[in-house]
Amino acid sequence: MVSPRGSERGPRETADTSTGVMAGDPFVDNGTVSSQRPLRAVPGRYPPGATHLDAAVDTLVRCHAALGRAPSEAEAAVCLLRRLWGRWGNTPVERPGWRSYVAVDGSPFELSAAWNGDGPAEVRVTVEATADPPTPEGNQEAGWEYLRGLSRHPGAATARVLALEDLFRPQTPHDRCWIMHGMASRPGADPLFKVYLDPDARGAAEAPSVLDEAMDRLGVRAAWQGLRGWLDEHGGSGRIGSLALDLADTDDARVKVYVQHAGLDWADIDRQAAVARGHVPGAFSAALEEITGTEVPPHKPPVTCFAFHRGVGVPTAATLYIPMPAGVPESDARRRSAAFMRRSGLDSAAYLAFLAAATGDGEGVRALQNFVAYRPAAPGGRPRFACYVAPGLYR
């Protein structure tokens, strides 16, 4: 099997050699900004004095407009963002103190859009709440305080995640700890809130037991253990980069784990996804080869998101996250993804318009996409495609 090239951005490696389960994300360089690890604002992107909240609001409005969403929907999303993140987003763009885990350019927010078949796009924003000045302890406090504020919002069910606080909030967090919060603006529906937790929050030695205990409390332990066994038998358990929850009190609220596939080829990744309901054999390997243009893994590995639902003994869905190929101009990467969307019956023009709006870069000069995500259509279903992009505040 082919192994991916090493990353200069890799701060952490964690493993449990007794089980093969690994946690944390060694492919993202986040943490305190310093002269040795600078983060420089792009000149002219926003005027002096602009805050991260200003930039996020501007980007959110432009993305809604680019996708043909009603101005009232953009206004509702902006109001929510101001209410929930405003306290922590009022930090100046030109003086960043923390390189965020959220976006590939270090910004504390990321935009994404998702298409479910030929329906209108869903617009999402993911943020990191950081202290001022940012410290691991302060950021951890901010992240959990954000959740408590969210619990007062109608439709946001935070009890499940707050019940995990003792697992994911250590007394002494590591230097690059993170917690992220997502909000999805869905056409014709209430917003969906999400949270993303660091499996490595308590360190390498405890990560596997933390995940086991979390999945037990969430009522999906049997499906989680089944997934681990399946992965071990089909190429290895990989690395769990994130644990995520839909913050909804509904039957379709998901628990999700993001498995990084370092060291697997495209066929192995496809076989691993076969454990999930609705997986289409061969679809993942075909998408990887078409979008990356190679059978050699890129600078960081592909990821499969496995979804779980309480009372179901196997993963209920598998979604493939494809990193942009290394050494390929962003404009070419966009064209490849757009061509793949067209062949899948999806709206590639909307995808390109979204990227231009989110980044302010219609020509694809800067490499600001993190992943594109794809779930093929199961019999009687529709394909799902999403893209995740940094706002281009920093270089």
Contact 66, 354 (CB under 8 A): yes
pLDDT at residue 5, as a whole number = 25
Q: How much is the pTM?
A: 0.92
CA distance 323 to 301: 7
Sort strands 109-116 and 384-389 into parallel, antiparallel or unpaired.
antiparallel
The residue that leads in pLDDT, 119 or 333, is: 333
Is there a domain that residue 196 lies in? yes
Is there a domain that residue 13 lies in? no
Is there a domain that residue 217 lies in? yes
* Alpha-carbon dihedral sign for residues 220, 180, 45, 29: negative
Q: Give which of 186, 114, 118 is closest to 371, Cα–Cα.
A: 114
Residue 162: pLDDT band with limits 50, 70, 90? very high
Q: How many domains does the chain have?
A: 1
CA distance 318 to 303: 10
Encode pLDDT of 60-112 as tens digits. 999 999 999 999 999 999 999 999 999 999 999 999 999 999 999 999 999 99
Residue given tokens 């997986």 in the structure block: 279
CA distance 197 to 199: 6
Is there a domain that residue 282 lies in? yes
Is there a domain that residue 49 lies in? yes
Count CA atoms within 13 Å of residue 365 on its CB side. Answer: 7
Is there a domain that residue 4 lies in? no
pLDDT at residue 19, as a whole number = 44
CA distance 361 to 367: 10
In this structure, what are the phi and psi dihedrals at residue 52, rounded to the nearest 5 degrees? Answer: -60, -35
Contact 313, 226 (CB under 8 A): yes
Domain, as residue range, for 251: 22-389
The beta strands (E) that lie in the chain are given as 22-23, 31-32, 98-99, 109-116, 122-127, 179-185, 192-197, 239-246, 255-260, 303-308, 317-323, 369-375, 384-389
Question: ω into residue 298 within 30 of 0, thus cis?
Answer: no
Is there a domain that residue 266 lies in? yes
Encode pLDDT of 219-236 as tens digits. 999 999 999 999 999 998
Is there a domain that residue 15 lies in? no
